[in-house]
Every structure is written in C-alpha cells, then in structure tokens.
Structure 1
Amino acid sequence: MAKLNVGILYGGQSTEHEVSMRSAESVLEALDKDKYNVKLVHISKRGEWLLSHQSDEIKSLERGSGATGLSVTPPKQLSSAEGGEAFDVILPILHGTAGEDGSVQGLLEMADIPYVGCNVRSSAVCMDKDMTKKLLKFEGIKVADWILFRHDEKESVNYETVREKLGLPMFVKPVNQGSSVGVSKVTDEKSFYEAVELAFQFDTKVMVESAVEGREIEVSVLGNTNPVASVPGEIVSNTEFYSYESKYIDESGAALEIPAKLDEETEENIRRTALDAFRILDCEGMARVDVFLTENGEVIVNEINTLPGFTSISMYPKLLEASGIEYPELLDRLIELSLERHNRNRQLKTDIM
C-alpha cells in the first residue's frame, strides 16, 4: 500500500506559536514513517508558509534558510516557485488565533485538502467562548454565568455593575484566545480594571465570568459520527488558576491526575456531558472538553478545545492513552477520520442540475 503524503502544519501567527512547535515535535516523532511521507510546513510569525526540505526536525524557518515559500493551490497542493507539493492530508498542529479558529480550516477546504480536526464552523464557534456558552446554554448544558463586552463598550465597563451580577472572585478573559493567554483572576476593583485592559490587548471581545468552585476535569473526545470519550483526568493546580505559566513554563505549576478519582456515576455523567457538548457544537475528529465538578456534583462546562496541546505529556493524548489508545495509534485514527469526513463531504452535490 502506497504511503500517504502527510503535512504537519505548525507555528502560526498567534500567542501560542511556541506551544505549537512543541506539539508538532511530538507528532513528528510519533508518526509511523513506514505509513507516511511526512512534510513539514512552518507558518512564521509574519504569516509566511515555508516548506522545510528536511522532514526530521521541527524548527523556525525564515526565507533564505533553505526553506521554500508556499502558496495554497487547489486541488490538494501547496505550490512554490519550484512546483507543487501534493498532500493527502494535513495535520494543522496550530493553537490559538488563525489556527484553531476556523481560518486555516477554511483555507484547506478551499484547496480541497483533507485535514485533521474539526471543521470550519465548529472550530470558529468553539474558539469564541461567548458563542460556545450561548449554544451550550440553549441546549441545556450548564455553564458559568458571564457578561460580554465588545471593544466599543470598553469605556462603559463598570466594576460595581459586574460584581453585583457575578460576585467575587471572577475571571476576565479575551473571548478568542487559548492557553489562558490574557486571563486574569479578579478579587477587587483595581485588579478588575487592570484585567480588562490586559484582555483587550488580545481580542476585540472580552468576557467576565463568575468563578466556579470545583475540581477541574478534562475529557478527550475522538470520532466523527460515533465519538468516544476518554477516561476523565483532573488538573490539580498549585497556582491560583491553570495559567499559561502553569501549563508550559512552571513544571511544578500543576499536577495531572489520570484517571481522575471519581465514582462510577460521576465519571459517566462527565463523559456523557463531554459527548453532548461535542455533538451540540458540531465537532468532528477531536476535541478536549474541560469541565468543573462542583461539591454537590454539578458538571459545568468551561470550554471545548478543538486543537488541544499535542505534546507527549499533554492531556489530550495522555487521556486517550489511559483509555487504551497509544499516541501513534491516535494519530492513525485522526488521519483516518479526516479522510472519512473528506470523502463523505465530497459526495454532496455542488449544483442543482
């Protein structure tokens, strides 16, 4: 059987550029080279797409560094001055804006290149925390209370009004960011206005959310029409909250407990909630669903991450490994799911004649 031409797309124009590179390193190492011809495509912080002529190392590339500049050319090609590079499937190992928000997914759709992960619609919705909450709440899934402010409302943000509705403490977040970038925990008026100012540096929409007292539980979901949920895992943070530093910089910032210590009924409820959220938001391929478990047993969905961290110690692959799916097999499954969806969608009519 012929090898598939698989592209790893990494880097990107986001605050999570370096995180993407760490994830891509783990993916490159785990992909079975007997099954796949692997090609590396780096998106620089300036937005250039660059093809590496070496397929054995994830690194930052710049023009003149031996890399080839690429442009997207349908069907199934990324083209350069030297000719076209054909891809059977792309793994967009990108995090944050212009990576997991539907942007690159739309580009790959237009190029008719199959890609791993959620489609344009679900990627965009899940990246937007406000839209995610609205849809989940409409469908009866519990979420924390929140207030949204747009950039043109920045000057009218009032601490007392927000505190009366949400109480203390509360969290201030950019709506379209990941990895807790720009997120602050607020306990008083001074920290509130500082947090709002910080969050608006990263997005044009900012959310203020009531704090939920509870355990932080995560579930990995895998599949298209018949998704499966992993065993839940728990994040035990040693800082005020699970911040960017706790995730990627401070090795003692948090501990991961896999599987989480839960009774059978609670575990089943969390897994069912994760699957419900996955389906409601039209996810396919993969997503990590993060929830809070309160003292009285309520499951409150925090967010759905459609392109979760993919390092060898990240929660998404670790939870599935604990559920019996090893990292290389997980990548095989994700590639199969992307091709399955692509082939299914190609059967849809594009004209009415």
Structure 2
Amino acid sequence: MSSHSPSPKPRVAVVFGGRSSEHAISVVTAGAVLAAIDRDKYEVLPIGITADGRWMPAVDAPERMAIEGRKLPDVADVAESEHGGVVLPLNAGEREVVYTEPGAVPKALGEIDVVFPVLHGPYGEDGTLQGLLELSGVPYVGAGVLASSVGMDKEYMKRVFESFALPVGPYLTVRPRDWEQDPAAARARIVDFAAEHGWPVFVKPARAGSSVGITKLEGLAGLDDAVAEARRHDAKIIVEALLNGREIECGVLEFEEGPRASLPAEIPPVSEHDFYDFEAKYIDSASGRVPAPLAEEETAKVRELAVRAFDALSCEGLARVDFFLREDGEFVINEINTLPGFTPISMYPRMWQETGVPYPELVDRLIQAALRRSTGLR
C-alpha cells in the first residue's frame, strides 16, 4: 500500500461493492471494468466498500472478482486490509486519497482524477455517492445526483416519463405510512388495482435493482408475504400490472456530440423462472438475443425512445432502457438503469459490442466523458 508518485496518466478510482443487496454483482462488474481499462492510458486505484459500509483499498485482481459456479464474490475477497479504511477528499479541489488504520500514521494513496463507480442499487446508484463526489469536486462516470435518484425510484421515474409523454405501464405506489398505519386499506387498493388490470401483478421494492425482492403475485393469498419481501429491501413498494409482450432492452451511451442508442436486445422467456429474476440474470445467465429480431421501423422506434428516456431524466454517461413490445406493436418503458449491469454477460456491453463499440472502448468512452465534464449542479 505505497504512496502514489506523480504520473501524466489520469488515475481512475474504481469504487465497488457497497451496502445494497447487489453487492456481489457490483464486485463482478468491477472485475470486468478493471480487466478492460487500458493500463497504458490510465492508472487504477480499486476501492471496495464492504457490505457494512467501510471503504477499503482493494487488490487489483479481476480474476478473484467473478462468479464461480453459484458462489458470488464479496469485497472481503479482494480487500487489502481488514482494519483500515479509505478516506476520499471532502474539500473541493483536493484529489488526495488517504488510507487510515487504527494506531498508525495515515498513508497517502495519491491523487485521483476520476471515479468510476460501479455500485448498483441504494448507496451507489441512487444519487448518494454522486452527491458525495459533487461535494469533493471529483469527476465521476455516469449520471448526476438527480438522474441517479429519480432513475432508482420506480415511482418517480414513471412520473417523469409520463410528464414527457413517454409510455409506461399501469402501476400503484404503496408508501411506508400506507402499509404501517392502515394495511387493510393498502391491501384493498392493491386488490382493486388487480381487479382493474388483472392478475398476476408484480410487487416490487420501489428503490432496488437486479430483480431482488420482487414477487409475481397470482392472487390475494400471497399478498402479505409479497409485501413483506419487497419491504425487506425498501419500505416503499410499487405494484405493477403484467405487460404481455416481448422484453426489449436498449443501451444509451454519451458521445462527444450527444447520446446515441445501441442496437436493441431481446430477453427471451426463461422457462425455469417465473420471470427474469436475479438467478436468471446472473446465475443461470439466460442469454439474450443481440440484436433483437425486430422490424427496421421497430428498431428505429425503440432507439429513439431510449434516447428520449435518457434525456427526460437528464442522464449522463450511460443508461440501459428496458421495454415491453406489446402485441399491439407499441413499446412501453419498464424502467431505466443509470448504472446498468456491466458484467461480462450483461446486456449493456453486449449491445454496444454488436453496435461496434467493444468493451474496452466502452470503458474508455465513459472515463473520457467524465473527464470532459466539470462537476457541479447537473
């Protein structure tokens, strides 16, 4: 853990792990990013955040950050120390990262030029980390505070899309106070919603990702269990109607002249799972079709909608927009991910690979976009 000597190469701090239920997927993503960064062009400082929120210097060992069979990796697998912690600069204009350990003199780890956050879910993708980086004045990859926060909250994401005349499916929000103070009334609202739009419905945490905490609810019998499972991840929940149709995804990437959309992908039905849940995405890795077998005008339409969704939330850097293509030929936005999965099997890099931007170039473009931007209110 030596001090960093001055170098003309930009120094990228890859920050991963975190306190959310997507900790392991963040570690996998970080491994892929670390393996892809051009070391002739950039220096790298890996920083892991443990599941209990401690910032740790990590070893630069992408091979130890992959899913092995059904075993998910953890920041503890690559942490350089169990006791100390990394401190980011909080004074605007300072870039020095310091390592502190109980009873020892703090060690300077050198200055950083840009942060590449690969934290999924709360405390990383939701605007909290972005706010910290804004305070310190350190440039970072991806969306700013507002876009990150709105993109993470499924209710407000849908409200913003509706205000921009973008198509979303039927939904119902159950706030913490609704369930805690009058669960009978909340149940009645959910039942009325299902009566209007039909069973099954999906009960989800309003602010979580990677399909954790979601229940496909076939009827009233399992309602309380579904709500309890969603509330384990977020006190606010959202109930969504089933949208029959094909699952289509599209990536958006910021170029010098503005955002562009990738060729879309299709997520095929997963026969072993009720829906495209966590295990289908990351463990059993059902492979999507890239590019999606769509008519030319459908491809053009979904790419246009993806960029419009990106702009509606004032996104920056990157985003993945997920759609349903209904049987009537209309696209409906399911959600936007301001920090989409970046694992080797993730759809976002695969879509850009098919569009002509290979993974290492994708990482480089994101770092360059962050370096071009000055921090400040976005």
Sort the TM-score into its range (normalised by shorter chain): over 0.9
User: 1:138 maps to what in 2?
Assistant: 163
- The 8 Å contact of residues 57 and 79 in structure 2, kept in 1 or not, is answered as no
SS in 2 for 1:289: strand
Alignment of 1:56-67 (within 5 A): 56-57=61-62, 58=65, 60-61=75-76, 65=81
Alignment of 1:266-345 (within 5 A): 266-342=298-374, 345=375
Tell me which amino acid in the other structure corresponds to 1:70.
V
TM-score, normalised relative to structure 2: 0.86
Task: Output the CA distance in 2 between the equivalents of 1:63 and 1:170.
Answer: 41
Q: Please state how far the C-alpha of 1:67 moved relative to its aligned partner.
A: 7.4
Structure 1 residue ranges without an equivalent (≥5): 349-353
Q: Please give the per-residue CA displacement for 1:58-93, whole angstroms capped at 9, x wherever unaligned.
A: 562498837751122132233231125311111101
User: 2:276 maps to what in 1?
Assistant: 242
Task: Output the CA distance in 1 between the equivalents of 2:372 and 2:196.
Answer: 46
Q: 1:157 aligned to 2:162?
A: no
Tell me which amino acid in the other structure corresponds to 1:135.
V
User: 1:351 maps to what in 2?
Assistant: none
Root-mean-square deviation over aligned CA pairs = 1.8
- The 8 Å contact of residues 57 and 81 in structure 2, kept in 1 or not, is answered as no
Instruction: Report the CA distance shift for 1:141/1:249 in structure 2 as closer, same or farther (over 3 A).
Output: same
Single out whichever of 305-314 and 119-128 deviates more from structure 2. Answer: 305-314
Task: Output the CA distance in 2 between the equivalents of 1:68 and 1:8.
Answer: 18
User: 2:70 maps to what in 1?
Assistant: none
What is the count of residue pairs matched by the alignment? 342
> What is the percentage of aligned positions where both structures have the same residue?
41
User: 1:49 maps to what in 2?
Assistant: 55
Instruction: Report the CA distance shift for 1:197/1:20 in structure 2 as closer, same or farther (over 3 A).
Output: same
SS in 1 for 2:228: helix
SS in 2 for 1:179: coil
Instruction: Report the CA distance shift for 1:152/1:137 in structure 2 as closer, same or farther (over 3 A).
Output: same
User: 1:109 maps to what in 2?
Assistant: 134
Tell me which amino acid in the other structure corresponds to 1:243.
D
User: 2:122 maps to what in 1?
Assistant: 97
Single out whichever of 321-330 and 191-200 deviates more from structure 2. Answer: 191-200
Q: Please state how far the C-alpha of 1:341 moved relative to its aligned partner.
A: 1.6
- The 8 Å contact of residues 48 and 79 in structure 2, kept in 1 or not, is answered as no
Q: 1:71 aligned to 2:87?
A: yes
Query: Which runs of structure 1 show a deviation greater than 6 angstroms over 4 or more consecutive aligned residues?
Result: none
Task: Output the CA distance in 1 between the equivalents of 2:243 and 2:158.
Answer: 15
State which of 288, 291, 304 in structure 2 corresponds to 1:259.
291
Instruction: Report the CA distance shift for 1:192/1:268 in structure 2 as closer, same or farther (over 3 A).
Output: same
Structure 2 residue ranges without an equivalent (≥5): 1-6, 66-73, 100-105
Q: Please give the per-residue CA displacement for 1:284-334, whole angstroms capped at 9, x wherever unaligned.
A: 100000000011110100000011111122111110010000111111100
- The 8 Å contact of residues 48 and 75 in structure 2, kept in 1 or not, is answered as yes
SS in 1 for 2:56: strand
Q: Please state how far the C-alpha of 1:166 moved relative to its aligned partner.
A: 2.9
Instruction: Report the CA distance shift for 1:258/1:67 in structure 2 as closer, same or farther (over 3 A).
Output: farther
Task: Output the CA distance in 1 between the equivalents of 2:246 and 2:79.
Answer: 46
Q: Please give the per-residue CA displacement for 1:3-39, whole angstroms capped at 9, x wherever unaligned.
A: 1111110110010000001111111111111111111
Q: Please state how far the C-alpha of 1:250 moved relative to its aligned partner.
A: 2.1
Tell me which amino acid in the other structure corresponds to 1:197.
A
